[in-house]
Structure 1
Amino acid sequence: MRSSQPTLPRIVLAFAAAIMFAASATSAFAGIGLGRGQAVGGVMIDPQGNVRAATPAEQKEMAEVIRAAMNEPAGQLAQVTEKRVISLAKLQNALRQVHETGGHIGDEAAFLAGLQRIEYVVVDEENQDLLLVGPAEPWELRADGSVVGKQSGGSVLRLDDLLTAFQSVETARRDGGIRCSIEPTAEGRMRLRSFLKNVKLRPGQNPAFLEAGMREAFGAQMVSLAGVPTTSRFARTLVAADFEMKRIAMALTESPVRGLPSYLEMARNKRQSAAQSPRWWMACNYDPIARDGDGRVWKISGQGVKTMTEEDIVAADGSVESDGRQDPLALKWAETMTEKFGELSTERSVFRDLRNVMDLAVVATLITQEQLDRKSGLDLSVLRGQDSLVETANYELPQSLSPQCSFIHGRAGWTVTASGGVNINAFGVVDNQVESADLQTLVVARDNGDDTRWWWDSK
């Protein structure tokens, strides 16, 4: 149903105070849908397209902007609960109301009432509704500008990411999933190979002094995205998570988690091949989706994210291909990152942000693929963007970035590690289903005391 007041501006998914700041400043925090934000999870993407870690001063500035725009969670929002319920029907009504009054969406909606994860999707035919159920907690602002749960330290789910997930299901289907990669060019690989031909190290000499010249020869790396709008916060989260994973793997930043060393540390003094280069990417890591016999209750579980690897074989012309082989050491690093992912995502919020967008992609795909909206009788036109009521923040995403790569000089020559990415195959997750009789006993009580309230806690 289209709004009866089409001349009103679309809802801007932002806080009013933050919008005013973003209009006058050159950079702002992108984590909560602020006007023209530049950072995600402590990773800065500036207007010139440079991707880098935000400086302490920039993190402080971002935190100050968000602190001025945020309200302290109060009432039930200040409570920890294992079963917070979001009504998609009532949430859409709330968005329509904001649109018709010309207002702005506040932090309660922007942070999806403090939801940490969506564990259940429930079809409520009686009320023509779909319910999202999961644990929630009050949120707080970290010194680096991240907004996380007070108890768990995990990034909260975001309304703008939910909108992007719903609006990207068919695009992701067409593109074969949601993907991000940051790759060197063939020309850069050839320049680097030429550079290294003239390098002769003395026994015991540290090659670190060569890295500036090697990066210059390598040149810019290209950013590739598919499945989601490149202007979305969702897309920036993918790029930022890939960037930060590579920085940890290649010892460009210190690992914040005990037991997760860099790949370079693990590979030191090992035999390396100049024709091979390890690639890592993060992918979905879910249990089979459980459903009751009638397909009215669905349970989503599992860690959410795993790290995978294979070897890139570099040809003489700088092109690469892979035969699926895995270097044992690179595989060990990938398995260690997967094992430590929970701790890592608490220390570096960008990784929890990544799991959040993966979760939302799975939820949106499940609802669309299984036609749960039709089963419930709910029109999801607002969340799917068909009513054009909600305007999410738009960001300029760089097409390329300065090289983020490391170099290992082993007994057989140089190995360059530079490639990586993210691959979200939500359709594969949704297709992997099992029936569970236990879900027939799930009870989600409705809050019928206030027709305008779109969330509540259920026992």
Structure 2
Amino acid sequence: MQPSHLSTRRAGFHRNLARIVVGASVCVMCLAATVHGGGFNNNNGRAVGGVMIDASGIVRTATVDEKMDLANVMRGVVDQPQGEMAEVAELRMISLRKLQAAISESRKDGAPLPESISFLAGLQRIQYVFVDKENKDIIVAGPAEPWKLMDDGSVVGTQSGGAVLRLEDLVVALQSVEAARTEGITCSIEPTAEGRQRLAKLMRSIKLRPGQSPAVYEESMKQAFGLQTISLTGVPQDSRYARTLIAADYEMKRLAMALAQSPVTELPSYLQMAKNGRQNASQNPRWWMACNYDAMSRSEDKLSWKLTGQGVKTLTEQDVIDNDGKAKRGGRADKIAQSWADKMTENYEQLSRKVSVFGDLRNAMDLSVVATLIVQEELDKRAGLDLSVLSQPNDDIELVSYTLPKAVSPECSFVRGRSGWVVTASGGVDVNAFDIVQNQKTDDTAMTKLRSTALASTDSAAWWWNK
């Protein structure tokens, strides 16, 4: 498709999107391709998957109609991959040097970046990083698939259903390494102390009649609990990467507290598992997702690297709630909460293919580990490669700026046990890529052979190629 045709279609996208937004909200993990290199630019920038963020920064669940409306508009601008890119590849290589050149060339006439670049040639994971000193290059490689648009607006691989990696997340990961070194990449959604106090007072006043469902108090519980605040560190708060952290944390808690139906049979809600258990109102479970990788394999010369492991694990511990409503980490895990965390970890692969935001989260973690590896081990200097197009702000890649997230609209779910109520849970996401990069093991023969095979198949004219 010629750039002029694409620009016309994108202009139509903006007109249609404006009718959907009407000054309010758009899906927080939906938008995928690019207008100016980072993501569909809808001016208000409130878009990115199953949750919504309004003009005031309040996050809530997206309705089915809202997801479908946005997906219908996106169908007019997301092209299907062609040629070899339309095939499944066990291992697809991407040259970072040639990718930068392709980005700069695409932007010469002001045209939007093609989906092939925005979706990083359909990569599903990054498994390998190779330094090509002869060609002053760094090669990243992993399995790849053609992509398709889902009914909820997410973009996934046609074979596995896994989320595709995004150029804008790679850029944010590279540009955020130093900030992450200082403060870490984290996200948390926390109830306020005042909200906890109001809710505790309400719960003490509830006197259920025999057979009466506590659901009748749900609306008053929401009002008492109030908004939950969002905290982000390490990445720009207006980035798609940040939206991924928020949406994944939000959806994890919805699954745990039975506010969303689990799409995986082996992963029931925590509420189902805790029913009739011994609950303590002064303690609530906290869950968070963290990196879950094996030791990084490398060659002796540090020119070949391999990243393995599931990518994400779920951890838990108990929060102890003081009388003033403040939460303190208890340092111990409730057995049922630990069992739920283990089940989520065990079923994460399947879950990520059913709920794309969990695939997006793992992709973000992959990209942060790779970005940290490049910076920490100075792979760009070893290769003699200038990575400034990807690692420094510039006009070639204009990242979309999304509305700053501030708080989450309250949703209440609760279980009453023999000793009290559990009403909600805190938690978050912790992306500690430095720990992963520092955990290395040498596997010289295998890694050197892999590098030779990968570089031998290089197509001098293309920025990506298959093994």
Q: 2:460 aligned with 1:455, yes or no?
A: no
1:30–1:233: 8 Å Cα contact kept in structure 2?
Answer: no
- CA shift, 1:49, in A, is 2.8
Give the count of matched residue pairs: 444
User: What corresponds to 2:58 in structure 1?
Assistant: 50
Q: CA deviation at 1:47?
A: 2.7
Indicate the residue corresponding to 1:8 in structure 2: none
Query: By how many angstroms is 1:406 displaced?
Result: 2.1
For the Cα contact (< 8 Å) 1:241–1:351, is it kept in 2?
yes
CA distance in 1, matches of 2:263, 2:314: 17
Counterpart for residue 236 of structure 1 = 243
The equivalences for 1:201-350 within 5 A come to 201-350=208-357
Q: Distance in 2 between matches of 1:366 and 1:358?
A: 12
SS at match of 1:205: coil
Residue identity in the other structure for 2:87: Q
Whether 1:60 and 2:61 are equivalent positions in the alignment is: no
Gaps of 5+ in 1: 1-11
Give the structure 1 partner of residue 425 of structure 2.
418
Using the TM superposition, give the Cα deviation of residue 445 of structure 1 relative to its aligned residue in structure 2, in angstroms. Answer: 3.4
2:32 equivalent in structure 1: 31
The change in CA–CA distance for 1:206 and 1:449 in structure 2 (over 3 A counts) is: closer
Which residues in structure 2 correspond to 1:381-400 (within 5 Å)?
381-400=388-407
Deviating 4+ runs (over 6 angstroms): none
Partner amino acid for 1:430?
A: V
Pick from 454, 457, 463: which aligns with 1:444? 454
Q: Distance in 2 between matches of 1:398 and 1:150?
A: 31
* Aligned ranges 1:155-166 → 2 under 5 Å: 155-166=163-174
Residue pair 1:16, 1:104 contacting (<8 A) in 2 also: no
Tell which deviates more after alignment, 22-31 or 385-394.
Answer: 22-31
- Of residues 116, 121, 124, the one that matches 2:124 is 116
TM-score (norm 2): 0.91
3-state SS, counterpart of residue 333 of structure 1? helix
> For the residues of structure 1 that align with 2:81 and 2:204, how far apart are their CA atoms?
60
SS at match of 2:134: helix
Contact (CA 8 Å) 2:59, 2:407: kept in 1 or not? no
Q: Structure 2 stretches of 5 or more lacking a match?
A: 1-6, 34-38
Alignment check: 8 A CA contact 2:31 2:154 kept: no
TM-score by length of 1: 0.93
Between the two proteins, what is the percent identity of the paired residues?
54
Shift of 1:24: 6.3
Instruction: Choose the corresponding residue for 2:176, options 141, 163, 168.
Output: 168
Match of 1:7 in 2: none
Structure 2 Cα separation of the partners of residues 78 and 21 of structure 1: 28
CA distance in structure 2 between the aligned counterparts of 1:198 and 1:403, rounded to whole angstroms = 20
- Sort the Cα spacing of 1:253 and 1:82 in 2 relative to 1 into closer, same or farther, 3 A: same
Letter of the structure 1 residue corresponding to residue 32 of structure 2: G
CA apart distance, 1:411: 1.1
Q: CA deviation at 1:25?
A: 5.0
Deviation for aligned residue 1:160: 0.6
**CA positional deviation for 1:43:** 2.2
> C-alpha displacement at 1:22, in angstroms?
4.6
Q: Is the 8 A contact 1:314 1:321 kept in 2?
A: yes
Q: Following the alignment from structure 1 to structure 2, what is the Cα–Cα distance between the partners of residues 413 and 387?
A: 55
